[in-house]
Amino acid sequence: MDMFADDPRSSELFREVRGSSHRAPVELPWLDVEQAVLIAVNRVPGDDVALALDYRTSPSDPRVVGSDFWTNPRQCEWRVVTPGFSSFAQALGL
């Protein structure tokens, strides 16, 4: 994620930035790469599917967000999958 956040064109396409370089808090549909960890990505290059833990909402139960290129194929939007990792794990039966 760092490489996308550090390149202006990739940052705009994937909507990934470093929160420390912004004065205001970074909100969805943008992902703050300094407060997120990828937990799943696509197997096939070009599918552009990713799930991340987004710690902006809670350090102990981060929300799960997913990349969305289907709504607007020209630009990614990060969307909430579940409000917390605990609810994500429960939905998966873990």
Say if CB 37 and CB 54 are below 8 A apart: no
Mean pLDDT for the chain? 95
d(CA 44, CA 33): 22
**Is the pLDDT score of 59 beyond 90?**
yes
Domain count, the chain: 1
Mean pLDDT of 47-57: 94
pLDDT at position 48 is 79
Domain region containing 45: 2-91
Report, as an integer, the average pLDDT of 21-25. 94
Percentage of the residues of the chain whose pLDDT score is greater than 70? 100
pLDDT for 88: 98
